[in-house]
Amino acid sequence: INHRFSFLPFFLFKPLHVIYRAVTFVGSSPVANIVATRCRNLNKRVTALGGAKNHLIALPDCEVEGASSDIVVSFAGCAGQRCMAASVLLVMGDGEQQKALQEEIIDKASKIEPGSEAGKMGPVIDAGSYEKIMKYIEKSVENGAELLLDGRSWSKNEFAKNGGCWIGPTIIKHSSKEDAAMKEEIFGPVLSIYQVKSWSEAIEIENGNPFGNAASVYTTNGGHAEWFVSRFRASMLGINIGIPVPREPFSFGGLYGTQSKYGDMDITGDGAIEFFTNRIKVTSKWPMPNVDEFISGEGLSPATGHGPTDHANFAGTM
């Protein structure tokens, strides 16, 4: 059974555990935890993927044009409501290259239009999600963060008049890494930018979040990339890729021991094959054939009625 994005998984309340042998789930961390715990209590195999807080780190040597486009697609694509969406951009330093990157991100995000056509951005899923996103933006501003791009005006556009919960791409520059928007899952088209002073500070922030879904670094230096990839605390990592979804045969799923993953294996790749497979082991022992041809080692005429002349046994003789 595969149950996605449900607040009240139906199998938790009905005696279906006799029928179903395994459960896969993708949703929020609290519900994923409930699903995994209940399945464990019923001795069922379970993969329950939870939330995410995906970090991007931009080094001074990153390629601005490509990185800016990739970052915007990552945080604003699907209205930011996908588990692989970027939510925090940690910028190393404050030189001209970093300023150019920030300006490019703002410019490209501001040109996104509302709508359902290709290249445009649709509304968020419902009113509850909309209110949650708005609260994070407002709370950040109250705590002294700077709104580089305010998407709240979309709530008054022509699309909003016809229904739907509309909020445009929003970019927040934080002065404190303790802001709620820097640490908690927002699940919307909101990018939090924070300037770090060292690589170690960037890793400390990324490692310090309770999730372990994805992380990426933007750089043109392979050695720099390797330093970060070997230290990220997430299971799906990218180099100059803002949506590092591993393709088959590699597996998709969060990191064990974090709020991004509960249960067993991943949902694709060899882990998924193992998850949906029962390994059946057969151990056999055969008695030695009590027929003349086996004892003497000589072939018999079909007229004897003892059947075929060749008999195999597990002692390795014919």
- Would you say 98 and 203 are in contact if contact means Cβ atoms under 8 Å apart? no
Per residue in 172-224, pLDDT (tens digit) is 999 999 999 999 999 999 999 999 999 999 999 999 999 999 999 999 999 99
DSSP annotation of 124 reads: B
Distance CA 214, CA 223 (A): 20
pLDDT interval class at 10 (50, 70, 90): very low
Distance CA 160, CA 156 (A): 6
State yes or no: pLDDT of 4 exceeds 50.
no
State yes or no: pLDDT of 312 exceeds 70.
no
ω before 15 within 30° of 0 (cis)?
Answer: no
Q: Which residue in 180, 181, 150, 184 sits closest to 167, CA to CA?
A: 150
- Would you say 247 and 241 are in contact if contact means Cβ atoms under 8 Å apart? no
pLDDT at 202: 98
Tokens at 247, concatenated: 């393709």
Per residue in 35-55, pLDDT (tens digit) is 999 999 999 999 999 999 999
pLDDT at 13: 46
83 is known as an active-site residue = yes
pLDDT at 126: 95
Distance CA 85, CA 124 (A): 14
pLDDT interval class at 3 (50, 70, 90): very low
Q: Which residue in 259, 241, 261 sits closest to 251, CA to CA?
A: 261
Distance CA 164, CA 225 (A): 41
pLDDT at 80: 96
- Burial level of 54, CB count in 10 A (0-12/13-18/19+)? buried
pLDDT at 247: 83
pLDDT at 160: 81
What share of the chain in percent tops pLDDT 70? Answer: 85
- Would you say 215 and 54 are in contact if contact means Cβ atoms under 8 Å apart? yes
State yes or no: pLDDT of 8 exceeds 50.
no
- pTM of the model as a whole: 0.83
State yes or no: pLDDT of 70 exceeds 70.
yes
Distances (CA, A) of 309 to 211, 259, 292, 294, 314: 66, 64, 10, 9, 17
pLDDT interval class at 140 (50, 70, 90): very high
- φ/ψ of residue 32, rounded to 5: -60, -40
Per residue in 250-305, pLDDT (tens digit) is 889 999 999 999 998 998 888 888 999 989 999 998 777 666 655 555 555 555 55
Q: Where is average pLDDT lowest: 31-35, 158-162, 227-231, 264-268? A: 158-162
State yes or no: pLDDT of 166 exceeds 50.
yes
78 contact partners, CB below 8 Å, separation of at least 6: 85
pLDDT at 161: 81
State yes or no: pLDDT of 128 exceeds 60.
yes
DSSP annotation of 247 reads: P
Q: Among the options 39, 62, 78, 83, which is catalytic? A: 83
Name the residue with higher pLDDT: 39 or 158: 39
| Helix H or strand E encompassing 181 | helix 180-183
pLDDT at 313: 56
Q: 214-218 and 190-196 as β-strands: parallel, antiparallel, unpaired?
A: unpaired
